[in-house]
Chain A
């Protein structure tokens, strides 16, 4: 089954404790992206990657890091989480950068609470 998976699905942590949210897709997609969803703000892009070793900032990159060492994986790293990073996070993928506007496939989401 073609899908985007994220782990963990739920995470409670404390301020300053480094964490990683993993994302993996099995569709051989070139383009991957991370979003955060907050009430009243919709989906905002954090980082995106057009291919292996190619990443770039989205609209709200502060406090986040990413890496793309393999085509299928795109982990999101919070080196020193703060309460304002409490949110619902989605990973998404698309066949290529040119196809982003046509459709993106989203993972099930990771709900993060930073105390």
Chain B
């Protein structure tokens, strides 16, 4: 049973468009929300992360927004580029735990 529910499963966006991936969680003991990016044939790599004491974090074209009351967090990819085509995973660890619960993943395809 996945503790983090991710949607959509896949999305296609035109170059320059905005990609939005959503994750919902139920366990309020989660205290950190990283996003991992995985290119075909590679292992996942940390992209960006947020703590629940802030509502938004931006790094370049990537922004995480966090809604604690709704128990949701989202990844926005602004001005999407073909090089952003990858699978994105949201994740969350329980407080005082030593493992991450991952979402099912979203495959993003950016068309030139």
Q: Is A61 interfacial (CB-CB < 8 Å)?
A: no
**Assembled-state Cα–Cα distance A40/B102 (Å):** 11
Q: Is B34 interfacial (CB-CB < 8 Å)?
A: yes
**Assembled-state Cα–Cα distance A65/B105 (Å):** 26
Q: Is there contact, CB below 8 Å, between B2 and A45?
A: no
Q: Is there contact, CB below 8 Å, between B46 and A43?
A: no
**Assembled-state Cα–Cα distance A97/B99 (Å):** 8
**Assembled-state Cα–Cα distance A48/B32 (Å):** 19
Q: Which residues of B contact A50 (CB under 8 A)?
A: 98
Q: Given A4-B43, A90-B44, answer yes or no on A31-B98 (Cβ-Cβ < 8 Å).
A: yes
Q: Is A66 interfacial (CB-CB < 8 Å)?
A: no
**Assembled-state Cα–Cα distance A100/B96 (Å):** 11
**Assembled-state Cα–Cα distance A89/B48 (Å):** 23
Shortest A37–chain B CB gap in Å is 8
Among the listed A41, A90, A100, A107, which residue makes an inter-chain contact with B100, where contact means beta carbons less than 8 Å apart?
A100
Extra pairs beyond A59-B99, A102-B49 (7, CB < 8 Å): A4-B43, A42-B104, A42-B105, A101-B31, A101-B93, A106-B45, A108-B42
Q: Is there contact, CB below 8 Å, between B99 and A33?
A: yes
- CB closest chain-A residue, reference B42: A108
Q: Is there contact, CB below 8 Å, between A108 and B43?
A: yes
Shortest B50–chain A CB gap in Å is 12
Q: Is B89 interfacial (CB-CB < 8 Å)?
A: yes
**Assembled-state Cα–Cα distance A48/B6 (Å):** 24
Among the listed A41, A48, A92, A106, which residue makes an inter-chain contact with B98, where contact means beta carbons less than 8 Å apart?
A48
Q: Which residues of A contact B9 (CB under 8 A)?
A: 40
- CB closest chain-B residue, reference A6: B43
Q: Is there contact, CB below 8 Å, between B99 and A42?
A: no
Q: Given A41-B104, A43-B89, A103-B34, answer yes or no on A58-B43 (Cβ-Cβ < 8 Å).
A: no
Q: Is A109 interfacial (CB-CB < 8 Å)?
A: yes
